[in-house]
Amino acid sequence: MLLEISHLTVRYEKAVLINDLTLSVDTGELVSLVGPNGAGKSTTLRAISGLVAWEREIKRRSTSGDIFLDGTVTFDGERIEAIPAHEIVRRGLVLCPERRRPFREMTVLENLLAGAYLQKDKRKSRETLEKVYALFPVLKERTRQISGTLSGGEQQMLAIGRALMSEPQLLCIDEPSTGLAPIMRQEVFAKIEEIKRLGITILLVEQEVSTVFKLAARNYVLSSGKLIAHGRGEELLKDETLRKTYLGM
């Protein structure tokens, strides 16, 4: 297994955001994490990408409440749950965050280069850049454009492209389709499939369950920080209560 989360619990003060979560992602898979708002999907991604560990460091220093993290996260055979975010990227795990969050004042190219920050070999980052441009031709057309002026869909492509610039083994994407027009959503999903075909493992958090279930081989359903169900899309959809209560379909 490339990624194994075992009995992960995350608590902010008294609020339990993730409760005893166990899941795994194998190399080459596209796995989804679905569930209602506040189910702990984003927190799961933040925990494995090191943002929770980083935030805990900050809170400890400011004594403004504590974050509690228990359980283990193993990536590529190494325990990573206590490692801060900036150290995790170089191990090949990257998060494309919620709400895209491009560096809005910088150009498209600068955003992409920021993604390749750790790659000191300029020739290699040049090569990766060409791959990203091949995947997202629209970014190549807009190299010099300030990213804050891109459309929502383009910003999403940029955010994914920026994450890919770190040459990840595992790409975590948090709600890529939120706030996009239907056509743009389809395009984003098509790109995600294409990335999977490039051999990159993907852990996808999404609201749009119907599309995701077609895309992902396996799906984890979360609610209130707990794992509710796990399986192939069509199996999960057969369960009436699950469909109505947790998937909103």
Partner 1 sequence: MNILITGLITGSMLALLAIGFSLIFGVARIVNIAHTAFYMIAAYTIYFLSAKLGVSPFWAMLIAVAVVVALGLLAYRFLIDPIREHEAAVLIATIALAMIMQEAMLLIFTGDYLTVSALIQGFFVVGGVKVFHQQVLTFVVVLIILAALWLLLMKTNLGLAIRSTAEDREVANLMGMNESRLAMITMAISVALAGLTGAVIVPLAVVSPFMWMEPLIIMMAVVVLGGLGSIKGSFVAAYILGFTEALVVFLIPKGAFLKGSVALSIMILVLLLRPEGLFGVSFEEER
Shortest distance, position 58 Cβ to partner 1, whole Å: 5
Question: Please, what is the minimum distance in Å from the beta carbon of residue 143 to partner 1?
Answer: 15
The string of DSSP codes covering 126-162 is HHHHHHHHHH-HHHHHTTTSBGGGS-HHHHHHHHHHH
The residue range among 19-27, 53-61, 196-204, 225-233 that interacts with partner 1, by the rule CB under 8 A, is: 53-61
* Residues near partner 1 (CB under 8 A), total: 33
Strand, helix or coil at 125? helix
Single out the segment in contact with partner 1 by CB under 8 A; choices: 21-29, 31-39, 65-73, 80-88. 80-88
Residues 15, 29: Cα–Cα separation, whole Å: 32
Q: Is 20 in the site for partner 1 (CB under 8 A)?
A: no
Q: Counting contacts by CB under 8 A, is residue 84 touching partner 1?
A: yes
Residues 120-179 that bind partner 1 (CB under 8 A): 162-163, 166
Indicate whether 62 belongs to the interface with partner 1 (CB under 8 A).
yes
Nearer to partner 1, 35 or 50 (CB): 50
Decide: is 76 part of the binding site for partner 1 (CB under 8 A).
no
Q: Which of 61, 123, 144, 197 binds partner 1 (CB under 8 A)?
A: 61
- Here's the x/- map for partner 1, 91-130, by CB under 8 A: it reads as ---xx-x---x-xxxx---x--xxx-xx------------
Task: Identify which of 38, 228, 41 has the alpha carbon closest to the alpha carbon of residue 243.
Answer: 228
Which phi and psi (to 5°) does residue 141 adopt?
-65, -25
Token digits of residue 109 = 């190219």
Q: Which amino acid is at 135?
A: L
CB of 230 to partner 1, least distance (A): 27
With vertex at residue 187, the alpha carbon angle to CA 184 and CA 193, rounded to the nearest 5 degrees, is 145
Helix axis angle, 108-115 to 122-135, nearest 10°: 120
122-135 and 152-164 helices, crossing angle to 10°: 140
Q: Does 31 bind partner 1 (CB under 8 A)?
A: no
Residue 190 β-bridge partners:
none
What are the residues binding partner 1 (CB under 8 A)? 49-51, 54-55, 58-59, 61-62, 64, 84-87, 89-90, 94-95, 97, 101, 103-106, 110, 113-115, 117-118, 162-163, 166
